[in-house]
Amino acid sequence: MTPNARGALLMMGSMAAFTLNDTCVKATDGALPLLQLLTLRGLISSILLYLLARRLGTLHLSMERSDAALLALRCISEVAAAYFFLTALMNMPLANVTAVLQVLPLTVTLGAALFFGERVGWRRMLAIALGFCGMLLIVRPGPEGFSLHAAYALAAVACVTVRDLVTRRMSAQVASMTVTLTSALAVFVAAGLASIWVDWVPLDGRSAALIAGASLFVMLGYLFSVLVMRVGEVSFTAPFRYTGLIWALGLGWVVFGHWPAPLTLLGAGIVAAAGLFTFYRGRVAE
């Protein structure tokens, strides 16, 4: 199997794992407070990631002060993104939230152009504009279509965009597993501290199994997303990110009985097409 083929499989595995994590979280259906859920999932996933990092020998905490500052900013962005995303997820269909997140490659490309001076031609800028139009079809701003939960999904996109842009600025000396583990720990610690003022509820067997499943799947998603950066060409593997939308459509229909409205599907298609075009133009420009 070629490196590109392995990279594509890892990217698809990562998207499947993250979507299964989202499905487990949403399936708790409000049986326990969100902060309690985040704390428990963060604890289990942090332990799993720590054991994995030790096993792989990739946990290196020494870094430059500038990298430490960037890592701190990344952790803050990760915490905010987790809160906004899971709040939206608990109140919106799985496929709708996932479709909004598909605009991320476009926002990161735009952010890199605005803040880092990366060259983005007019064709990619046009694709980004069309992608944002597609996103508007998904969230449908207006007195009847737009909701506070859609705003939370957009806030999650903004936080993840900041997270990814900050990650770009970190030096190559910072190990990927160190970044992943510290982010997971940040979510765990922040949720744990915030949950002090929340009344925890006893876990039944179903909720415990769903949290355990979510912790395992999010750890696998992190692992695959790290491994995919080590094999194949980024321009080849990145478009397979959109397989996450297929998983979300299927799981949302089978598990929750949700099927997006035609306008949502049209918007998701436009966003995916715009993202694929920006990847293609980026590869041509290299």
What is the band of 69 on the pLDDT scale with cuts at 50, 70, 90? very high
Q: How would DSSP label each residue in the chain?
A: --HHHHHHHHHHHHHHHHHHHHHHHHHTTTSS-HHHHHHHHHHHHHHHHHHHHHHHT-------HHHHHHHHHHHHHHHHHHHHHHHHHTTS-HHHHHHHHTTHHHHHHHHHHHHH-----HHHHHHHHHHHHHHHHHH--STTT--HHHHHHHHHHHHHHHHHHHHHHS-TTS-HHHHHHHHHHHHHHHHHHHGGGS------HHHHHHHHHHHHHHHHHHHHHHHHTTSS-HHHHGGGGGHHHHHHHHHHHHHH-----HHHHHHHHHHHHHHHHHHHHHHHH-
- Please check the confidence at residue 49 and state whether its pLDDT lies above 70: yes
Is the full-model pTM beyond 0.75?
A: yes
- The full set of domain ranges for the chain reads 3-285
Model pLDDT, residue 176: 79
Residues 145-159: pLDDT tens digits? 557 888 899 999 999
Average pLDDT over residues 270-274: 87
Calculate mean pLDDT across residues 25-37.
Answer: 91
Residue of 8, 44, 7, 2 whose CA lies nearest to 25: 44
pLDDT at residue 209, as a whole number: 95
Res 140 pLDDT > 80? no
* Residue 212 predicted with pLDDT over 90: yes
Report whether pLDDT(6) > 90. Answer: no
Mean pLDDT of 244-265: 89
Looking at residues 57-76, what average pLDDT do you find? Answer: 86
